[in-house]
Structure 1
Amino acid sequence: MTYTLATTVSLPWAEALERTREALAAQGFGILTEINVRSTFEAKLGPEAADAVGDYTILGACNPALAAEPEMGALLPCNVVVRRNKGADATTVEAIDPQTMVQLSDAAAVNEVADDAGTRLRKALASLGDATK
């Protein structure tokens, strides 16, 4: 089983990042956290490590209406990665597949939430493909 949903778009990294934020918002997700991995690598490991990782941001997306079990909060927010290697001509956007949560709970509500979140994340990623046309 793959644990991510992904798309690759022929947008510059900064534009892909902004459009990802917009696409998530259109599906009811807010961004709770944002981690600039490149900047973190540069600060902690130096510029060569930052160059090796490329442009890389992790967005912590959350849709509070989809909260099913309080314990599932340990798995949230849903991480969405926008990354582009140095010299690449495309940007990759990946989101955690909410179906991975289903494996951790027997609750029917978790399955319903994972289905809904997965549908919303797929729609957000699909809309990014539309942005390249």
Structure 2
Amino acid sequence: MANGAMHLALPRFLLNKPIFYISTFFNIFEIVLFFIDGKLNSFSNYLLVTTKRRCTMEFYLAKTLTDTSFEVALDKVTSALKDQGFGVITEIDVKDTLKKKIDVDFRKYKILGACNPALAHQALESNDKIGIMLPCNVVVQETPEGKIEVSTVNPMEAMKPVATPELEQFAGKVTQHLQSVLDVL
């Protein structure tokens, strides 16, 4: 190869195949390049790198509820969290706080700090700085249209900056639990 340049020629058998095969070929080629370049030490890191680069997931999970009041939704969320092993350790009433602090009228909006002690312990054992990402925030709010929206942090996205195999596994478990909370509402 001239001037140290790398040339890629597709094998003839790939030329008339669906784009999936070509895409897969390039992904495999990319893995090889990562190994050669010393940037990759495991396949899971490759998946993390390519996921970060290729797709953007929402930083939150959410569900809109109809035909329910704010108070009933709040009770349902608290109960569903409890069923998944979470306790509500903080509750911030944003509407009241904004009224008291800056005399602003705001819609019904509460932030629940939810903690699953067993999962929190597991995460803290893996990385003692992970406490800055705890507890999991769950928001219950009344939308301008009068519907109730419940949203929560997406742990899989929140943990990306500090991802290790242990924390990825932890984030996956927490995401499943929080999605289960939303599913039963």
Smaller-chain TM-score range? 0.7 to 0.9
Work out the CA distance in 2 between the residues paired with 1:60 and 1:106: 22
The count of aligned residue pairs is 123
Taking structure 1 as the reference length, the TM-score comes to: 0.87
Unaligned runs of 5+ in 1: 129-133
1:52-107 Cα deviation digits (max 9, x unpaired) = x3000000001121131221111110000000035x33100000000123312232
Work out the CA distance in 2 between the residues paired with 1:85 and 1:65: 33
1:1-133 correspondence runs (5 A): 1-10=57-66, 11-46=68-103, 49-50=104-105, 53-67=106-120, 68=123, 69-85=127-143, 88-128=145-185
Unaligned runs of 5+ in 2: 1-56
Q: Of the two structures, which has the highest relative contact order with CA contacts closer than 8 Å and spacing of 6 or more?
A: 1
Higher strand share: 1
- Greater gyration radius: 2
What SS class does the counterpart of residue 95 from structure 2 fall into? helix
Work out the CA distance in 2 between the residues paired with 1:43 and 1:89: 23
What SS class does the counterpart of residue 57 from structure 1 fall into? strand
Instruction: Verify the 8 A CA contact 2:59 2:158 in the aligned structure 1.
Output: no
Work out the CA distance in 1 between the residues paired with 2:166 and 2:158: 11
Work out the CA distance in 1 between the residues paired with 2:154 and 2:143: 22
Q: Report the RMSD for the aligned CA atoms in angstroms.
A: 1.2
Higher helix share: 2
Q: Percent identity?
A: 36
